[in-house]
Amino acid sequence: MKVPASGRLFTIGLIACWYSSNIGVLLLNKYLLSNYGFRYPIFLTLCHMMACSVLSYVAISWLKVAPLQTVRSRVQFVKISSLGLIFCLSVVGGNISLRYLPVSFNQAVGATTPFFTAVFAYLMTLKREAWLTYITLIPVVAGVMIASGGEPSFHLFGFIMCIGATAARALKTVLQGILLSSEAEKLNSMNLLMYMAPVAVAFLLPAAIIMEEDVIGITIALARDDSRILWLLIFNSALAYLVNLTNFLVTKHTSALTLQVLGNAKGAVAVVISILIFRNPVSVTGMLGYSLTVFGVILYSEAKKRSK
């Protein structure tokens, strides 16, 4: 069946919006946490989660972007809360890593998500993939090891935070499949975000107050001196929600596989743009390592597709 031109244009527009919001929030996070000097990654994540809480409710309840799904039991709520905590840790870890690492290296480490997903899936469900799928993970890990050795701006704490964030992201994916596996408990990504985000806010608010001393007072004082910080935080938080919304819509109007393929290319685009904007030094070894990781991820996607 031929897809109408207007439908194709709409899909292309959605993909462009998904790319822009993904890369935009990554670059803006880096700018705020590193270049601007707003060194409060937990508070920044709190702003993101507050925006996700409010905007996802508006999108589902008022704009009807997705049908409203209710939490059916206390057990289901506990499961969602557990996912919310892991989701929150992955975002905080990613934001902390951006204080110390360039976006290009952050993306290289983030590309190892399939490796951690395969490891957690085996450890938690004893689910074995085809041997070819595991072989494709070798270049994924080898690429990051090469990129680490050739990264001029390598920072050990930033690297540990980035690895932790990547592992948490993979753990959330695997746990989501286990915890919300029954048809009665399954939630689409927009409803899951609407319930997870307030849980993340509940964890992040005391964490920001305790670990980032007087962060609210400092932010207010900064806003008095430079109102731009307020607009940057609001725009950044809205963009963080837009990433989730466009992710859901692109999957709905194309497929999960298309999203995966586009995601592989997105990392490479983000690397090139970040190098052009931030002028961070790169080495030939680092770029070769990152290229090997991306190649491994593409092979992994192909192997997974063929094994189904």
> DSSP secondary structure string, 6-72?
HHHHHHHHHHHHHHHHHHHHHHHHHIIIIIS----HHHHHHHHHHHHHHHHHIIIIIS-SS------
Range of the structural domain that residue 111 is part of: 5-307
pLDDT value of residue 4: 63
pLDDT value of residue 8: 84
Number of domains in the chain: 1
pLDDT value of residue 81: 96
Residue with tokens 């609001």: 234
Alpha carbon separation from 103 to 7, 26, 72, 109, 142 (Å, rounded)? 34, 8, 40, 10, 19
pLDDT value of residue 257: 67
User: Distance (Å, rounded) from C-alpha 199 to C-alpha 64?
Assistant: 22
pLDDT value of residue 208: 96
Judge if pTM exceeds 0.75. yes
**pLDDT one digit per residue (tens) for the chain, 308 residues:** 455 666 788 889 999 999 999 999 999 999 999 999 899 999 999 999 999 999 999 999 999 999 999 999 999 999 999 999 999 999 999 999 999 999 999 999 999 999 999 999 999 988 888 899 999 999 999 999 999 988 999 999 999 999 999 999 999 999 999 988 888 888 999 999 999 999 999 999 999 999 999 999 999 999 999 999 999 999 999 999 999 999 999 888 887 767 777 877 888 889 889 999 998 888 899 999 999 998 998 899 888 888 76
From the CB of residue 114, how many other CB atoms can be counted at a distance below 10 Å?
22
Q: Is the dihedral of CA 294, 16, 100, 96 positive or negative?
A: negative
